[in-house]
Amino acid sequence: MDDNAKKKFLEVKELFNRMSHEISAVVESYHIWRTLTFSRSIPEVGKEQAEKNAALLSLYKDFFIPTEQSHLQTFVIGLMKFFDRHSQALSIAGLIRELEKNKTIFTADIVRSTFKDPGGYDPIKDDYEPITREIKDKIEELRKPHEALIASLKDIRDKQFAHNDMETIKGASFVPNEVEALIEAIQEMFNKLSGNFNSSSTIWDHLKDDAIRSTQFVFANLERGEAERKEEIRRKYGA
């Protein structure tokens, strides 16, 4: 077996691991941002809770305003990494280039050598190819419906987050539901590539659920703490 080919295969596998971590960061930051932003939305949480949340956000504004902004920047910049066109960037296109470049040396035996299944399970077929025309077409199909949003987010990243243009950005915005659809498309693109590359698949739903739950838990604890603080003042001063 070609040790250099195996070494290269493991290097590319590590690129997949790094991109998976990037997706995780985007998922968590997006849902923390969304939960914070819509915590004072009456249609989202109801009038009473929205007013309570707005009061808490105002009370701790020096924490929540930069936190909300930080998660917004993190997920926008993170999303754009997946569509970076620079030749050295770790992006969807970059992964495809690496697979194409090593297509002849990544064989079924090389992939099998990285599996450690004592039961003898072998998901790799003898006609294995690390990347195929079909997979590339599917990636393109998944990306196309989001081109306008990608362009808008890139504009926001370039002119507002990565740099701060003198002129106000005009027409650059996004709809949260469209961002969520783009995140899901990126996850599907990644799993298409990784599934074909080494029969692996990743699920990020638990990160979404945990990010929402943890952010809501912060609000619940702050609300309880504020109620206790007011009760202590009432007991102390009889107010």
pLDDT, tens digit (0-9, with 9 covering 90-100), for 76-92:
999 999 999 888 999 99
Look at residue 117 in the predicted model and tell me its pLDDT.
61
Q: Residue 233: which residues within 8 A CB-CB, separation 6 or more?
A: 239
Quick check: 237 pLDDT over 90?
no
- Assign 226 a pLDDT band (cuts: 50, 70, 90): confident
> What's the whole-number mean pLDDT along residues 106-126?
79
Length of the chain in residues, anyone? 239
CA nearest neighbour of 16 among 131, 140, 145, 176 = 131
Q: Residue 216: which residues within 8 A CB-CB, separation 6 or more?
A: 35
Quick check: 57 pLDDT over 80?
yes
> What's the whole-number mean pLDDT along residues 135-147?
97
Look at residue 171 in the predicted model and tell me its pLDDT.
47
Quick check: 214 pLDDT over 90?
yes
pTM as predicted: 0.88
Quick check: 233 pLDDT over 90?
no
Dist CA 140 CA 146 (whole Å) = 10
- Assign 160 a pLDDT band (cuts: 50, 70, 90): confident
Q: Tokens 């298409």 sit at which residue?
A: 192
Dist CA 108 CA 112 (whole Å) = 6
Burial of 144 (0-12, 13-18, 19+ CB in 10 A): exposed
Look at residue 102 in the predicted model and tell me its pLDDT.
95
**Residue 69 corresponds to which tokens in the numbers above?**
């902004």
Quick check: 167 pLDDT over 80?
no
Question: Is the distance from CB of 95 to CB of 19 less than 8 angstroms?
Answer: yes
149-158, 166-175, 185-194, range with the lowest pLDDT: 166-175
Question: Is the distance from CB of 133 to CB of 21 less than 8 angstroms?
Answer: no
Look at residue 161 in the predicted model and tell me its pLDDT.
79
R_g of the chain, CA atoms, integer Å: 23
> What's the whole-number mean pLDDT along residues 111-120?
72
Look at residue 121 in the predicted model and tell me its pLDDT.
67
Quick check: 115 pLDDT over 80?
no
> What's the whole-number mean pLDDT along residues 119-130?
81
> What's the whole-number mean pLDDT along residues 218-224?
90
The domain containing residue 154 runs over which residues? 3-237
Dist CA 195 CA 132 (whole Å) = 12
Dist CA 90 CA 201 (whole Å) = 19
Q: How many domains does the chain have?
A: 1
Stretch (H or E) spanning 85: none
Question: Is the distance from CB of 209 to CB of 46 less than 8 angstroms?
Answer: no
Q: What is the mean pLDDT of the chain?
A: 89
Look at residue 27 in the predicted model and tell me its pLDDT.
97
Dist CA 119 CA 234 (whole Å) = 67
Look at residue 124 in the predicted model and tell me its pLDDT.
85
- 150 versus 117: the higher-pLDDT residue is 150
Q: How far is CA 143 from the centre of its chain?
A: 15
Look at residue 159 in the predicted model and tell me its pLDDT.
82
Range 198-201, long-range pairs (CB < 8 A, 24+ positions): 198/13, 198/16, 198/111, 198/114, 199/123, 199/124, 200/16
160-169, 183-192, 205-214, 224-233, range with the lowest pLDDT: 160-169
Burial of 153 (0-12, 13-18, 19+ CB in 10 A): buried
